[in-house]
């Protein structure tokens, strides 16, 4: 599982269909079962109590907290925990006490309180959020992706396979098996598809730069005088 660790409005983008895309994975990490992190990173206002306290954390729960802060900001136009004095800000975050405007309905307040739960063991999980009644209401269709299709072995990117092998210390056949299994949660398959996506984005950016170069360097149309 990939943990972002720096979720905030600035890292949420909208595509041409108004679908949300997460950006800037510079602080992200690939989590393994049974592993924990201690690194204190991300933007202070969106960081979970255990992160700013330097405690061990598994990963997904800190992203849930950050999403809770983002949801509050979108609904209220302000942050649940804010102060120019960083030590005071940290005290507010650790307290878990935040103002609840009267115009918020009980359903979303329930979700916010579960996501902004100081105790990570009691905090809502990603599945809890997805099943919450407020989240389920008017849910956009793109949040239900099509089932993962079987990967055609003839079009597998060997360079991406090699990169996954190098990162995880596995053999090529293990990555092939992960891709052919069709399991969307397999960490090897996830890593492979992330590498492919990054290469595609880089290729598209390079093509755009080349196109812009030729457009900029092309001669302007000749203007002829009439009469």
Contacts of 182 by beta carbon, 8 Å cutoff, 6+ apart: 147, 148, 149, 150, 151
- Rounded to an integer, what distance in angstroms lies between the CA atom of residue 26 and that of residue 4? 8
- Rounded to an integer, what distance in angstroms lies between the CA atom of residue 43 and that of residue 115? 17
- Rounded to an integer, what distance in angstroms lies between the CA atom of residue 19 and that of residue 68? 19
Two tokens at 104? 């918020």
Q: Characterize the bridge pairing of strands 20-22 and 12-14.
A: antiparallel
DSSP label at 139? -
Active site residue 212: no
- CB contact at 8 A, 31 and 42: no
Report CA torsion sign: 112, 113, 118, 124: negative
- Rounded to an integer, what distance in angstroms lies between the CA atom of residue 190 and that of residue 199? 14
58 CB neighbour count, 10 Å cutoff: 16
- Rounded to an integer, what distance in angstroms lies between the CA atom of residue 186 and that of residue 181? 9
Two tokens at 200? 């595609």
**Which residues are catalytically annotated?**
6
């Amino acid at each position: 599982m990939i943990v972002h660790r720096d979720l905030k409005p600035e890292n949420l983008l909208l595509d041409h269909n108004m679908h949300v895309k997460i950006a800037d994975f510079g602080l992200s990490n690939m989590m393994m079962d049974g592993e924990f992190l201690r690194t204190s990173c991300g933007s202070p206002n969106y960081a979970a109590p255990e992160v700013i306290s330097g405690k061990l954390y598994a990963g997904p729960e800190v992203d849930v907290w950050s999403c809770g802060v983002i949801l509050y900001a979108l609904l209220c136009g302000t942050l649940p925990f804010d102060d120019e004095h960083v030590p005071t800000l940290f005290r507010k975050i650790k307290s878990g006490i935040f103002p609840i405007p009267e115009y918020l309905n009980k359903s979303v307040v329930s979700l916010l309180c579960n996501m902004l739960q100081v105790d990570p063991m009691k905090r809502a999980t990603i599945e809890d959020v997805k099943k919450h009644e407020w989240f389920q209401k008017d849910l956009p269709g793109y949040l239900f992706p099509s089932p993962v299709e079987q990967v055609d072995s003839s079009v597998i990117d060997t360079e991406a396979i090699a990169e996954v092998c190098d990162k995880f210390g596995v053999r090529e056949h293990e990555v092939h098996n992960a891709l052919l299994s069709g399991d969307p949660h397999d960490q090897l398959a996830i890593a492979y598809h992330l590498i492919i996506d990054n290469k595609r984005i880089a290729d598209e950016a390079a093509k755009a730069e080349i196109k812009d170069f030729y457009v900029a360097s092309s001669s302007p149309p000749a203007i002829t005088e009439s009469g």
